[in-house]
Each structure stands twice: as C-alpha cells, then as structure tokens.
Amino acid sequence: MLRQNVGVTFASPPDDEAPSDRFRVCFVCSGNICRSPMAEVVFRDLAEKAGIGAKVASSSAGTGDWHVGEPADHRTVAALRRRGYDGATHRARQFDADWFDDFDLVVALDRSHRRILDHWALTPENQAKVALLMDFAPHHGDALDVPDPYYSDDAMFDTVLDLVERACAGLVCQLEPALKHEHRR
C-alpha cells in the first residue's frame, strides 16, 4: 500500500511521520502539482518493488506557494493512474529551507529548481544533498531538465512520466545496494 502525502502546513517536512532510520528523499518542482508528485509516487512504488520500500521515505514539494493545499493536477493523477500508480490523495506543499536537515537527498526536477534549492541550502552539507533527477537516468544525454507539462496536453504528462520513471529507476538502483547492505548488519 502506498502512503500518500496529505498535509498542507509549512512547519514540518512532508514525510514527518517516517521513521528517522529511513533514507529520506524529497522531490521538488515549481508548484508541487505535476512533476514532483509523479516522482514521489513513482520512486516509492519502485523502491517497494525493489525490496527497499521500508528503508526509504519519499515526499515532494514546490519552490513556490501557488498551489499549496491543492491536489495534484488532474492530468498528473490520470497519467499516474494509466500506469498503475495512485496520486489521488496528494496535496501540494512548499519546500522550506529548514527541511534540509530532515532529508538525505533533495531532488530538483529541473535546473531552475536546483538554483533555488542551492540558494536556500546555506551549509555545504545541505548543498551536497541537492541533485537533479535526470542525473539518475541512465543515458540521459543532454536532457538535464524534466519539462513542465502544466501548459501542455495529456501526451506531455505521459512523456514526463516516462522521464520520471527512468530517472527514479536509476535512483533506486543506486540506493538499493547500500540500503540492502545496511539491512544485513
């Protein structure tokens, strides 16, 4: 069963109920209604299928506050549903710079989000936690950004989901050996 993000406050990280021994990942896009909810749901599902679901916690947020409290865009939910994922209970949140200490990895969906997160990360430790999602995609070539589908059509949401699935699979593959090894200790 996938646990969904339902809070809307700014005071605590989106996955504040996750045990602290989990590897915590937060996916960040602009408004937290399209790309980052996709990544949150897909990553969680792939981690579960890889047998590390109990070792990770995923959440998502936006750099802006335009959609705080709103559900994911209906086209996001529909694209996820077509592939067997459930994003229906998502509620948008804005990332807070105080959350860096609560996450092991903060994943930006494009370079503009990365610049904002780099600006908000005031310590070298927190800056080291910021990565681009497409850096985890095998053979991503020059595609560093996951495009924003908000002003496009349903087909673009499916294209974005393709990119998200590929990159999240790469992220899970990178985490899996370390998290499974940690389990054997």
Query: What amino acid positions are annotated as catalytic residues?
Result: 29, 35, 148
Instruction: Give 122-135 as a DSSP string.
Output: -SHHHHTTEEEGGG
Q: Please say whether the beta carbons of 134 and 144 come within 8 A.
A: yes
Q: Please say whether the beta carbons of 24 and 102 come within 8 A.
A: yes
CA atoms within 13 A on the CB side of 153: 1
In our burial notation (b when 16+ CB lie closer than 10 A, e otherwise), range 54-87 reads: ebbbbbbbbbbeebbeebbbebbbebbeeeebeb
Helices 35-49 & 154-184 angle (0-180, nearest 10) = 40
Q: Which residue has the tokens 């802006």?
A: 64
Q: Please say whether the beta carbons of 56 and 47 come within 8 A.
A: yes
